[in-house]
């Protein structure tokens, strides 16, 4: 995974088997709309999702951009084959700012922190 604003900056390296990884973010502009406010999401720069299927991981990565950390944690705990990795916008210390939930905590990963 690379930083959305600096693709040369690697955030993590993953080896997956029988899982799907999807990402959503603001690198293409503020195009993800929070249905609660009707305004674009600005609190997160990027979100990645792990799930058993591509369709589910794609849907979840977009949902992670909008959901609260508590809701994400609850979802991942009740769906143990899913995971979330979040990068808040305005994060200057990337290694401190990456937030991991669910299956991301169980994977053998090479995070840069």
In the chain, where are the structural domains located?
A: 12-111
Radius of gyration of the chain from Cα atoms? Answer: 13
Q: Which pLDDT tens digit goes with each residue over 39-64?
A: 998 888 899 999 999 999 999 999 99
The yes/no answer on whether domain 12-111 falls in CATH 3.30.1330.180 is no
pTM: 0.82
pLDDT band, very low/low/confident/very high, at 106 (cuts 50, 70, 90): confident
Q: Are residues 66 and 35 in contact, defined by beta-carbon separation less than 8 angstroms?
A: yes
């Amino acid at each position: 995974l690379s930083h959305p604003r600096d693709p040369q900056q690697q955030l993590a390296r993953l080896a997956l088997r029988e899982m799907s990884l999807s990402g959503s973010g603001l690198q293409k502009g503020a195009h993800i709309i929070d249905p609660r406010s009707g305004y674009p999401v600005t609190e997160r720069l990027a979100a990645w999702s792990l799930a058993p299927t591509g369709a589910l991981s794609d849907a979840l990565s977009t949902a992670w951009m909008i959901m609260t950390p508590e809701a994400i944690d609850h979802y991942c705990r009740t769906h143990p084959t899913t995971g979330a990795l979040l990068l808040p916008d305005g994060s200057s210390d990337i290694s401190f700012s990456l937030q991991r939930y669910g299956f991301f905590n169980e994977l053998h990963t090479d995070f840069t922190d």
